[in-house]
Each structure stands twice: as C-alpha cells, then as structure tokens.
Structure 1
Amino acid sequence: MAFFRRLAVVFLALAAASLAQGGSAPWYSYRSMVSNQLVCSQVDPGPQFVRFAGPFRNAGCRP
C-alpha cells in the first residue's frame, strides 16, 4: 500500500510541475523622453521612458 501512496505523490508532483511552466514575457518598445531613443525591453526601463509600441514576441521588437 505504501508503494501506491508514493507513486501517487510522485505522479501528483510531476503533474503540478508540468502545469507550473510559464511562457516568455512580451517585449515592448520604449521611447526616451529625453533623447527620443528607442529601447526594446521586457521590463520597464524607468520613469524617463514611455511605452511606445508592443507587445512583440522577439527581442528586436519586430512583428
């Protein structure tokens, strides 16, 4: 009986791990309010930048 209990625990752990996989974060193009420079980033580069376009699926911020 202990074998089946362990087997069930292992199965549930593997099932939970497979459900916990996440996708990649989207990329956005940000424009600097100071120099109008464009930056492609997955995270907000800071208060001096404004989100310009996106979301994109690649690091080049191209469709």
Structure 2
Amino acid sequence: MESARKWILLALLWSTPLAAAPAPWYLWQSKLDGQLVCLQTSPGPGWTLAKGPFKDNDCRHRSG
C-alpha cells in the first residue's frame, strides 16, 4: 500500500510542470517619459500597465 502512494505522489509531481502555461507578457508605459517596454511583470512603481496580455515578448500577438 505504501509503495502505491509513493508512485501516485511521484506521478503527480512529475505531471505538474506539464500543465503549467507560460506567463503572459504586458506592455508597460513609463510615467516619466512615456517609454514603452514589454515585460511579464511590472518594472516598478514608475510604470503603468498600457496593454496586455500578449503571447510573445515583443507584445505583438494578443493572448486569448
């Protein structure tokens, strides 16, 4: 019985990364000079979310 639990746990741990999707990309705009950057997370407090989410790191192809 204990052996079966180990195999089930191993199977669950092994399959988890397969279900993960890549993080979306967003277009961020600087509050200081209006510069635009494409990142997955906010570059900091001086930036605001302009558009998104996108599938690619060029922020050209909309996600969803």
TM bin (shorter chain): 0.7 to 0.9
Q: How far apart, in 2, do the equivalents of 1:5 and 1:13 lie?
A: 11
Question: Structure 1, unaligned stretches of length 5 or more?
Answer: none
Q: Figure out how many residues of one structure are paired with residues of the other and give that number.
A: 58
| 1:23, distance to aligned residue in structure 2 (A) | 1.3
RMSD: 1.4
The 2-side partners of 1:52 and 1:41 are apart by: 11
Distance 1:15 1:25 in 2: 24
| Equivalent position amino acid for 1:9 in 2 | R
User: What do the CA deviations read for 1:7-58 (whole angstroms, capped 9, x no partner)?
Assistant: x23431232120x222111000000010110010001111100000000011
Corresponding residue SS for 2:12: helix
SS at match of 1:11: helix
| Structure 2 residues not aligned, in runs of 5+ | none
2:23 matched residue in structure 1: 25
Give the fraction of aligned pairs with identical amino acids, expressed as a percent. 38
Structure 1 ranges of 4+ moved more than 4 A: none
Q: Give the distance between the partners of 1:54 and 1:31, measured in 2 at CA.
A: 12
